[in-house]
């Protein structure tokens, strides 16, 4: 088709509400998009009028993959593939005839919505819409116009540089641009909940790092690789993250030896929170993220959460706290972590699990139990000193 090429148009979500800061957020979002697409072609990525434009510069750009990736960039509420045409009625109508029918296969009704931000264009939006509607009626057999409940809405937008034609926009990833809200440390297990928690906070603009606690040889190499896979799946949205690994085997054995069984999990959870906070400080993180949901298990009652929170010296974000398991699963499936999460590898929390854990623990009692483990501080120092890290990315 002459003088016409396909773009991806991305409309902002909540960002449009930002005042003076808006351009900072736009700049971040464009930067994210450039990084996501840089290995799949030469794209020009820019923004104006609350729209992020993805313009392919040559034939080698993989537009299908670009669209798939753009759907996972936070800050974008909707996106569509659109044909960009020079702002001339003949060119627009030719493009409509050539480009739009592919979106109208088997469709019975449509309407055209016009928007004209370039007021110098010599037709009003309704006039232009009517002309395009006539072209569609001519080229798509059996279709009719339905202004009230059309199956597909065709959009024509006369903007600064081009006129754009596209069918219904799809929902984007929404949220705030990646890394616009500061860095947070995700406690990432191999379960269903913590990957969802990480995703939810990344969606609000948190830049993620992660810490995974293992218990070699009770937990395996496979369990660790599963967590790395989950991190990569979250990175489809979050971009990249460093995953830190710490070994808690000795600590768990000491807790088992000295504390009453019913306190085992609570003390372990406090160890995790202490080590995670410590790591968070050294990595410039301002919050922790966990996947707890109120009442889901004994260590997730209000009193138990108080016992774990009291060792964290920064905010602990628990975005799943008010969600049912079923809702968490729906999100896990949507973001693509569920199938990995249900792989049957052991988790360090299931090593030495008490038969009757405390559900209404008093903080004083837990602290008294914890004091029985005299070398706990030293063992934590050792686990911290021996930590490892790996950089995880979804794309190059």
Count of positions on this chain that bind ligand ATP (CB under 6 A): 21
* DSSP assigned state of 108: -
Give the Å distances, CA to CA, from 68 to 65, 193, 273. Answer: 5, 25, 36
Residue 188 within binding range of ligand ATP, rule CB under 6 A = yes
Four-residue CA torsion sign, 178, 180, 181, 187? positive
Residue carrying the six token digits 């697409």: 37
Q: Would you say 129 or 300 has its CB closer to ligand ATP?
A: 300
Kind plus residue range of the DSSP H or E element containing 216: none
Between CA 239 and CA 324, with CA 192 as vertex, the angle to 5 degrees is 115
Residue 33 within binding range of ligand ATP, rule CB under 6 A = no
C-alpha Rg value of the chain to the nearest Å: 26
- The Cβ of residue 117 has, within 10 Å, a number of other Cβ atoms equal to 12
CB proximity list for 61: less than 8 A, separation 6 or greater: 40, 41, 42, 43
Residue 292 within binding range of ligand ATP, rule CB under 6 A = yes
* Minimum distance, C-beta of residue 314 to ligand ATP, in the bound complex (Å): 15
Residue 219 within binding range of Mg ion, rule CB under 5 A = no
Residue 291 within binding range of ligand ATP, rule CB under 6 A = yes
Report d(CA 73, CA 114) in Å as an integer.
Answer: 27
Residue 239 within binding range of ligand ATP, rule CB under 6 A = no
Q: Would you say 104 or 288 has its CB closer to ligand ATP?
A: 288
Among 150, 175, 191, 239, binds Mg ion (CB under 5 A): 191
For the chain, counts of helices (H) and of strands (E):
13, 15
Among 28, 79, 187, 316, binds ligand ATP (CB under 6 A): 187
How far is the first Cα of the chain from the last one, in angstroms, to the nearest whole number? 33
Residue with nearest beta carbon to Mg ion: 191
Residue 50 within binding range of ligand ATP, rule CB under 6 A = no
Question: Contact letters (x/-) for ligand ATP, 205-234, by CB under 6 A?
Answer: ------xxx---------------------
Give the helix ranges, DSSP H, for 259-372. Answer: 264-282, 302-309, 325-335, 338-341, 363-371
* Minimum distance, C-beta of residue 260 to ligand ATP, in the bound complex (Å): 19
Give the pair of three-digit tokens for residue 165: 């034609």
Upper half-sphere CA count for residue 368 (Cβ side, 13 Å)? 6
Q: Choosing among Mg ion, ligand ATP, none, which partner's interface includes residue 308 (Cβ < 5 to 8 Å by kind)?
A: none
Residue 249 within binding range of ligand ATP, rule CB under 6 A = no
> Which residues inside 151-190 make contact with Mg ion, applying CB under 5 A?
189
Q: Would you say 76 or 192 has its CB closer to Mg ion?
A: 192
DSSP-derived 3-state class of residue 239: coil
Q: Choosing among ligand ATP, Mg ion, none, which partner's interface includes residue 188 (Cβ < 5 to 8 Å by kind)?
A: ligand ATP
* Minimum distance, C-beta of residue 265 to ligand ATP, in the bound complex (Å): 7
Q: Would you say 175 or 191 has its CB closer to ligand ATP?
A: 191
Beta bridge partners of 56: 43
Count of positions on this chain that bind Mg ion (CB under 5 A): 2
Among 112, 230, 255, 349, binds ligand ATP (CB under 6 A): 349
Q: Which residues are at the interface with Mg ion (CB under 5 A)? A: 189, 191
Binding-site ranges for ligand ATP (CB under 6 A) = 187-189, 191-194, 211-213, 272, 290-292, 296-297, 299-300, 347-349
């Amino acid at each position: 088709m002459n003088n016409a090429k396909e773009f991806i148009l991305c409309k902002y979500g909540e960002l449009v509400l930002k005042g003076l800061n808006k351009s900072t957020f736009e700049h971040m979002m464009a930067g994210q998009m450039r990084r996501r697409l840089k290995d799949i072609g030469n794209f020009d990525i820019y923004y104006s009028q609350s729209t992020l434009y993805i313009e392919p510069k040559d034939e080698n750009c993989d537009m299908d993959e670009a669209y798939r990736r753009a759907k996972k960039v936070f800050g974008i509420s909707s996106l569509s593939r659109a044909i960009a045409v020079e702002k001339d009625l003949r060119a627009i109508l030719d493009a409509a005839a050539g480009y739009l029918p592919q979106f109208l296969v088997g469709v019975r009704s449509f309407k055209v919505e016009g928007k004209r931000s370039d007021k110098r264009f010599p037709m009003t939006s309704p006039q232009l819409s009517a002309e395009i509607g006539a072209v569609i009626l001519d080229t798509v057999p059996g279709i009719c116009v339905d202004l009230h409940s059309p199956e597909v809405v065709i959009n024509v937008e006369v903007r600064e540089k081009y006129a754009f034609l596209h069918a219904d926009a799809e929902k984007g990833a929404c949220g705030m641009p990646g890394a616009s809200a500061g860095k947070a440390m995700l406690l990432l297990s191999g379960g269903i909940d913590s990957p969802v928690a990480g995703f939810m906070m990344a969606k609000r603009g948190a830049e993620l790092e992660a810490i995974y606690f293992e218990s070699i040889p009770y937990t395996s190499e496979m369990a660790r690789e599963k967590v790395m896979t989950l991190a990569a799946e979250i990175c489809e949205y979050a971009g990249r993250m460093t995953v830190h690994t710490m070994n808690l085997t000795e600590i768990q054995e000491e807790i088992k030896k000295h504390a009453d069984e019913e306190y085992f999990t609570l003390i372990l959870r406090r160890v995790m929170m202490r080590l995670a906070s410590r790591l968070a400080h050294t990595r410039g993180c301002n919050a922790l993220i966990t996947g707890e949901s109120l009442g889901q298990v004994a260590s997730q009652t209000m009193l138990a959460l108080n016992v774990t929170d009291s060792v964290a010296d920064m905010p602990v974000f628990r975005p799943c706290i008010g969600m049912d398991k079923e809702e968490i699963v729906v999100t896990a499936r949507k973001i693509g972590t569920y199938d990995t999460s249900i792989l049957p590898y052991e988790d360090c929390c299931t090593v030495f699990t008490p038969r009757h854990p405390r559900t209404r623990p008093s903080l004083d009692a837990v602290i008294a139990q914890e004091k029985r483990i005299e070398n706990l501080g030293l063992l934590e120092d050792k686990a911290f000193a021996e930590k490892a890290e790996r950089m995880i990315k979804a794309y190059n």
